[in-house]
Amino acid sequence: MVALFTSESVSAGHPDKLCDAISDAIVDACLQVDPKARVAVETMVKGMRDYALIVLAGEVSLNGEAPKYEAIARETAVRIGYDNHAIGMDASSEELCKVHVNITTQSENIAQGVDGNSLDDVGAGDQGMMFGYACTETEAEEELSGRYFPLPSALSQRICRRLDMIVASGEIDWIRPDGKSQVTVEYDDDGNPLRVHTVVVAVQHDNALKDRFDGDIEAEQTYIRKVIKSEVVEHAIPDYWLKEGYILHVNGTGRFADPGGPYADAGITGRKIVVDTYGGMARHGGGAFSGKDPTKVDRSATYYTRWAAKHVVAAGLATRCEIQVAYVIGVAAPVSLRVETFGTGTISEEELTERVSRVFDFRPAAISRELKLHRPLYSATSAGGHFGRPPTSEGHFEWERLDQSRLDALNS
């Protein structure tokens, strides 16, 4: 019997991801002013016939002058590609795009639990449980090695990041910012990935593209499929996983023409949390990441559990590892820590949990210190996935960087 698993991703211009990007741009702007800023900002977008709407709501407390929230929202949307009302939004126009700002200061009842000077004084910004995950699925071939990530999620994310690169460069002028991908991988009886089985891509395109084919929509769609196959799918997915052929679906409804984006679908911050993490391969605590400063353990502790789980797998102690941590608001020490290896561990889960708790410090202030989270680095995470991506020289995705001393400590 063939075992299949599917994950999806969405491009930076998907309405929900547009909202994540705006919210994270505000986080970065606030941390630029004050590294200790407290930020929890949500965004909603909707395109309508006569104009588009961006709504900002949340709480911000910082020491310094507040950033210009409206300008940040507009600039972020334009950078992603929404500069034309005909495609779904023109964020550069005050007439064609209205921005409503509804941001107050952080609740004093929350602030008193997360402010402090020592690692034990700084409590979690909220209660909740968080999960981190790692596995060896991407380690079968060189191009993806070092990611320790579920293969369907890694590949679907790469397709959408490729779409984002095309929009940013303008190399294919008819592709718009809004897009989605889905990748199905076939596994053997031992749970090892064998090949890509099916790829699904939906991409918004220029409504006038059909005119290049004398209005022949079938010819237009044949052309779109050919370009997406060669310039997106087979550009993003290593040949190793495509060697046996695959099924490809492009724009399953027939056309995905202008106007799309926020006009076709309203967007809200935090609605793509499974896309942001492991594509459904691992559990999720439920809290979104975007729009939150690192005192919010929904974000920081999820990054840290991923970091710890990746070290467990990279250290050779398991081929699959999921770590759960849980907190109570205002308290630094987690209320629970659980390590699960799904029968793939080389030592008992009790012993592994003890080693993880000894090597990694799950107190919120320690997490922020070790991963250097009080910096404006979150816009890079708002599309394309928060995990399974190489760390950069600019300090992005620090939770993906392996620390040899910790690998050694886990094995001792």
Please indicate whether residue 190 is annotated as part of the active site.
no
Q: Which position among 5, 131, 149, 256 bears the catalytic label?
A: 256
Please indicate whether residue 17 is annotated as part of the active site.
yes
Number of neighbours of residue 264 by Cβ within 10 angstroms: 15
User: What's the burial of 252, exposed, middle or buried (CB within 10 Å: 0-12/13-18/19+)?
Assistant: exposed
Structure tokens at 343: 């029968």
Alpha helix ranges (H) inside 133-206 = 151-169
Q: Which position among 296, 320, 374, 406 bears the catalytic label?
A: 296
Please indicate whether residue 100 is annotated as part of the active site.
no
Residue type, 93: S
Q: Which position among 74, 271, 299, 355 bears the catalytic label?
A: 271
Helix (H, G, I), strand (E, B) or coil at 367: helix
Q: Which position among 292, 310, 363, 374 bears the catalytic label?
A: 292
Q: Which position among 12, 14, 21, 289 bears the catalytic label?
A: 14
CA 132 to chain centroid? 14
Q: Which position among 38, 158, 180, 306 bears the catalytic label?
A: 180
Number of neighbours of residue 405 by Cβ within 10 angstroms: 8
Structure tokens at 372: 């250097």
Q: Which position among 5, 8, 12, 16 bears the catalytic label?
A: 16
330 to each of 108, 123, 283, 367, how far by Cα in Å? 12, 4, 25, 15
Please indicate whether residue 265 is annotated as part of the active site.
yes
Q: Are 354 and 338 in contact (CB under 8 A)?
A: no
Q: Which position among 75, 139, 186, 265 bears the catalytic label?
A: 265
Please indicate whether residue 28 is annotated as part of the active site.
no
Structure tokens at 355: 């080693």
Please indicate whether residue 292 is annotated as part of the active site.
yes
Please indicate whether residue 256 is annotated as part of the active site.
yes
Taken in order 48, 54, 55, 58, the sign of the CA dihedral is positive
Helix (H) or strand (E) holding 365: helix 364-371
Which of 64, 8, 16 has its CA nearest to residue 267?
16
Q: Which position among 5, 8, 12, 17 bears the catalytic label?
A: 17
Q: Are 27 and 293 in contact (CB under 8 A)?
A: yes
Please indicate whether residue 59 is annotated as part of the active site.
yes
Distance CA(404)–CA(79), nearest Å, equals: 38
Q: Which position among 8, 24, 34, 42 bears the catalytic label?
A: 42
Please indicate whether residue 387 is annotated as part of the active site.
no
Please indicate whether residue 296 is annotated as part of the active site.
yes
Q: Which position among 176, 272, 306, 311 bears the catalytic label?
A: 272
Structure tokens at 99: 């921005």
Please indicate whether residue 188 is annotated as part of the active site.
no
Please indicate whether residue 243 is annotated as part of the active site.
no
Taken in order 228, 231, 237, 238, the sign of the CA dihedral is positive
Q: Which position among 57, 264, 266, 380 bears the catalytic label?
A: 266
Q: Which position among 57, 59, 264, 380 bears the catalytic label?
A: 59
Please indicate whether residue 229 is annotated as part of the active site.
no
Residues catalogued as catalytic: 14, 16-17, 42, 59, 180, 256, 265-266, 271-272, 292, 296, 298
